[in-house]
Amino acid sequence: MKRDWASELETYLQIRFAELCETIGQPVPLTGLRISPPLAMEESEYFLLGLDEGFFRPGQAGFFESELLSPPGEGNEKMCRMFWHDPPPRLFREGICQLATASLLILKRGWLRSQVRLEVREDRTSTSGADILVNSLAGELLVCVVVKRSAAELEKLVMDLRACCKRGPHAKDDCGFPQNHPNYEFCALHQPPYLWAVAPDADVCLRLTYQETHIALEPLPSLPPRSMIDSH
Ligand SMILES: [Zn+2]
């Protein structure tokens, strides 16, 4: 019988959430953990498979430990956030999609564990420039993965990036699209050839070409196969 991935993951998260509430001395809401947008099927499948494979595991209250984070010793003892603690505690929805996407890159798309690196968000107000990095075996950055909550947010990301990339170098303070400007800044600085934006049930990929002052964007339906991107 096929596993019902989404309800299995929902049960798993409800248990983790109840544990967190107990640890931080907060009552569990009567309605339990609210998951919005709902867990998508493939997202749930790859989150649970990643858990089975040991790519990540529950760590200190509300966080996940992962071997896909930058190794300790690089000034990085970070963990992946799964819940916000401040009352009322709640789910960090993008965190689920981020771990599921890392697992999918390895288990479905054929990238090696050593090529997939999770980035962490420092706090709620910051949107990081990248949520996952995919490198070639030689360590060259190939793909910047950005995680969003919904297909509508992906659309806005592409529109905003188009504007930032067309304009050329500018500061966040001077940008009309501050929400997504950090993704532009990350790309301008690190020059990944692909940006893959992922939401629980949608994704879009951009091929980026770096010109003297601006960046040209070519939309692709999804991230091309590893064999096309990682030629070395
Ligand atoms: Zn901008």
**Segment 14-60, tens digit of pLDDT:** 999 999 999 999 999 888 999 999 999 999 999 999 999 999 999 98
CA of 218 to the centre of ligand 1 (A): 18
- Pair 111, 227: CB distance under 8 Å: no
d(CA 201, CA 218): 21
CA of 121 to the centre of ligand 1 (A): 19
SS3 4: coil
The amino acid that residue 156 corresponds to is: K
pTM, two decimals, is 0.94
Q: Which two tokens stand for residue 216?
A: 């040209």
Per residue in 133-161, pLDDT tens? Answer: 999 999 999 999 999 999 999 999 999 99
Residues with CB under 5 A from ligand 1 (ion): 164, 175, 181
- Strand 83-84 versus strand 90-91 pairing type: antiparallel
- In this prediction, residue 231 carries a pLDDT of 75
d(CA 224, CA 58): 31
CA of 154 to the centre of ligand 1 (A): 16
CA of 42 to the centre of ligand 1 (A): 32
CA of 191 to the centre of ligand 1 (A): 16
Per residue in 191-211, pLDDT tens? Answer: 999 999 999 999 999 999 999
- In this prediction, residue 126 carries a pLDDT of 53
CA of 164 to the centre of ligand 1 (A): 4
Residues 6+ apart with CB under 8 A from 173: none
CA of 230 to the centre of ligand 1 (A): 29
